[in-house]
Structure 1
């Protein structure tokens, strides 16, 4: 199992991925790198972000004859695309009976149609560009979590059929032990997301598009972007596809919440389990507003094994402590759940990712609110990032070209469905705020450096300022300013991925202060020093 040993890095290589754990997708391919931008240029469209959304939009625009420039501060797919589990589904994280309540029957039909079309577009693109990326059509099975009621399956069955989906009600899910009754969604799919991006990038460059990696956009407005090296990309249109918008300070971040989600990869006997997608309906005891659910798929691995990829155990970013469950325990719970249902021989992968949950269940794709009409954003993936990104690749080019698109309204970033979804939004926003305030490090002035173990991190106080301190395996101390560079919330240590995470809006930083997730777009102040040999009390009064 040599490949399993590649899964953990000593520190975060932020060009490669946003944590110390790398995913199977990242480990199975060479990094996809291009030259950094080395001069100022002009283009029709500049796209900030080289993940599934940015690359898919660039591909469609170059096929339409547009001059396109993509800039990415890491490698292609080094953000959340490289940490997904790559389900391609019309069975969405949020139930269709909820979508029908919020958006009406027509809106629910458009949601189903857009995700079904996204899967078709991916399949057609793979065929047209001859991309080898393990694409496979499969059936998806939605089954009850023990905390849920069977009536919810009946409601979802009726709503999904009303939305135009091919769905059946079955007594049990194939390949899954003790599932009970379930819904079978036909014509779902799965693929290797980074292999797909490799193919798209080849097509983009063949179509005249330009891709620049290791190039960070530090200023973004309606005229284009300025990079960290001071070069300009002037453009008629600007698209920000950075998981959560780094060009927006307030508006969008009050309409969505960031969650960490955990993934394990376990070996199962080759072809012992049918290739399919499985999801439970979510743990209502953990969070009745947005129930965290488990999601499973298979990936071909070697001649004797498939890799069963299982995710779940979500929590609000930076607030893992609120449920008093450690990161290690979340992986253990995920493993126990998976072993109850599948015959796994060995766990060889684990990683985590970040999901942006919109207040009303659907992604935000379109013109950036309170901005010029030529600035567009893609955010709020809601756990369906691969299909939402592909929807963006159809919708945003239509908006740029001035074409009518019937999905525009349901994905409009300016929408505000407060009266239909505000109850959940208020509970999540206010609940997260109060949990954050309860754990705000008021006692940082009493923290001793000796209490920080190797691999750990804590907030300490020096004078009137708070700092995050991480001790590495050599006992060196890595010190960052503890205020997030977005809106100055105090970051929290993520022991699993060895990062500093902001509980307010989901920004994340390496232990050296480099920003790896927005909405923050500036690094934390950082310095390094050798750990003192004796116990030292910081900030004693």
Structure 2
């Protein structure tokens, strides 16, 4: 199981192919084992095979069924955290290299799609950043100046962004952005990997890592072993690490809606505003004279909100003001992004390991970060220089991000302290059918879900990763860990890491 089993369905999950892959049923050997079959994992496998390495890929769910299928499919070298902020936090050289990585990632997707004949609706287009109401134009001035400083050529002022329902005022235009169908692209990558002798296994969760002087032994599936020279962990939030990298990033839920518009009625562009959390917009061609308008936003820290209905209503209202051509809203879904404290992803050798590599911390640009990360990991594993690797090193220390580091870890400490507070309900009678809540039972807290038949599903409320108290997500109908982003089904099964074991069973007598 993975996040594909959460309740909402994205437009990609509805319209994209499902790649069938078997369970791991025996021990395996490979030069590299890749854990995670999303954009980062499959891209890493593809790149490593092009470099002559044998590869095994495993995923706890379906191939391409994780967070990569819950994005909105933007491919942007414009930075959602802003380059002027990245320069202030990490320096101009880090910003220059990070821009180069994003731009190269878009180029690489285009090259692979063309070379492999992947019909993923890839198209180049412009991106536009416009001011939210009440925001000062100085932000845009700082951003275009930052782009000039890092060599991001072609960013320019325009009189307005292509938003048909409102007058946006002056905006920034970013050339050579792109969009595609992520699920179609992932299926194409997987087919190429299989064609060239790679092995891919679905519904095969990893349960253990053991590094030796000569390699790594993974335990996965039904206690089978994968012996590999190196391991890549590309699971949105790393499942091999309990503390180190998780103290330097935080999970956020993000929301998206999609609905039909007549083809040509909305300009084909990527669009963002400067709100925090910002809105982001794109089109996707559907054929028969119709496009799909896709809009995301209204983020919050994972586990720290239950007003998803209000957030979707607000997102739809914003969309209809700015894009009155929108017809019905046919899709509503959520995803999760990992926000690093210094705006840069964590790609490279894991803390305390020599042969285990990770990719995480994608912020709101997981697709381009994932592809760039795959190229970094390829070079690190085969021993080639990579000019981006230094700025994404998971073991880096950023003194300028100390304030954000302290804030995020104080938030985590607050959630651990919830073990000492009361429950959300005093009795299971207070939990309606189809909902969950936290109940205190003596010294422990329980995560209790009542299904539509009235049956209670009782689990420990302590996340199996690091022990934080999980929170009920009424939209996806799952338990979310607010500390590090694990998700659990109502039966306790893991849907999303870093947890690798279910919520513990718990006895409860009413």
Give 2:332's aligned residue: 350
Aligned partners of 1:205, 1:264: CA distance in 2, in Å? 33
Who is 2:270 aligned against?
277
* Residue 200 (1) aligns with residue 210 (2): no
Instruction: Give yes or no for the alignment of 1:210 onto 2:203.
Output: no
Partner of 2:341: 359
SS of corresponding position for 1:320: coil
Q: Tell me the equivalent position of 1:534.
A: none
Which residue of the partner structure matches residue 429 of structure 1? 409
The DSSP-based 3-state class of the residue aligned with 2:135 is coil
Partner-residue secondary structure (3-state), 1:250: coil
1:3 alignment counterpart: none
2:318 aligned partner: 337
Contact 2:235 2:497 in 1 (8 A): yes
Aligned to 2:453: 474
Aligned counterpart, 1:370 = 352
TM-score, with length taken from structure 1: 0.90
For the 8 Å contact 1:296–1:311, the answer to whether it is kept is: yes
Deviations 1:304-326 (A, max 9, x none): 421111111111101115xxxx1
Alignment gaps of 5+ in structure 2: none
Secondary structure of residue in 1 paired with 2:266: coil
- Judging changes above 3 Å, is the alpha-carbon distance between structure 1 residues 239 and 438 closer, same or farther for their aligned structure 2 residues? closer
Aligned counterpart, 2:296: 311
Q: Deviations over 1:194-226 (max 9, x none)?
A: 100111111111111110111111002321201
How far is the alpha carbon of 1:29 from its aligned partner?
2.7
Aligned counterpart in structure 2 of residue 117 of structure 1, from 92, 101, 104: 104
Cα distance change of structure 1 residues 427 and 465 upon mapping to structure 2, 3 Å threshold: closer
Match of 2:372 in 1: 391
Residues 1:249 and 2:242 aligned together: yes
Distance 2:466 2:422 in 1: 22
- Residue 444 of structure 1 aligns to a residue whose secondary structure is coil
The structure 2 residue matched to 1:501, chosen from 476, 480, 484, is: 480
> Greater CA deviation, 468-477 or 124-133?
468-477
Q: What secondary structure, in the 3-state scheme, does the structure 2 residue paired with 1:347 have?
A: coil
Structure 2 CA distance for partners of 1:441 and 1:267, relative to 1, 3 Å: farther
Shift of 1:376: 0.3
Deviation at 1:430, TM superposition (A): 2.4
Q: Classify 1:278/1:446 alpha carbon distance in 2 versus 1 (closer, same or farther; 3 Å).
A: closer
Q: Give the equivalent residue in structure 1 for 2:490.
A: 511
**Contact 2:3/2:495 (<8 A) preserved:** no
Structure 1: unaligned runs, 5 residues or longer: 1-13, 284-291, 530-536
| Rounded Cα–Cα distance in structure 2 between residues aligned with 1:15 and 1:448 | 31
Relative to structure 1, the CA distance from residue 502 to residue 147 in structure 2 (aligned partners, 3 Å threshold; closer, same or farther) is: farther
Are 2:416 and 2:469, in contact at CA under 8 Å, matched by a contact in 1? no
Listed one character per residue, the Cα deviations across residues 288-341 of structure 1 (whole Å, up to 9, x for unaligned) are xxxx111111111241421111111111101115xxxx1100101111111110
- Give the direction of change, closer, same or farther, for the CA distance of 1:341–1:445 in structure 2 (3 Å limit): closer
| Residue of structure 2 equivalent to 1:420 | 400
Contact 2:425–2:438 under 8 Å retained in 1: no
Q: Which residue of 2 aligns with 1:156?
A: 143
State the distance in 2 between where 1:378 and 1:26 align: 23
Contact 1:467 1:480 in 2 (8 A): yes
Task: Label 1:64 to 1:401 Cα distance change in 2 as closer, same or farther (>3 A).
Answer: same
Please say if 1:489 is aligned against 2:494. no
Aligned to 1:287: none
The alpha-carbon deviation at position 122 of structure 1 amounts to 0.4
Question: What is the DSSP-based 3-state SS (H/G/I as helix, E as strand, rest coil) of the residue aligned with 2:330?
Answer: strand
User: How far apart are residue 429 of structure 1 and its match?
Assistant: 3.4
- The residue that corresponds to 1:9 in the other structure is none
Q: Which residue in 2 is equivalent to 1:265? A: 258
Shift of 1:228: 3.2
SS at match of 1:470: strand
Q: State whether residues 245 and 378 of structure 1, in contact with CA within 8 Å, keep that contact through their aligned partners in structure 2.
A: yes
What's 2:158 paired with?
Answer: 170
Structure-2 residue corresponding to 1:102 = 89
How many residues align structurally?
503
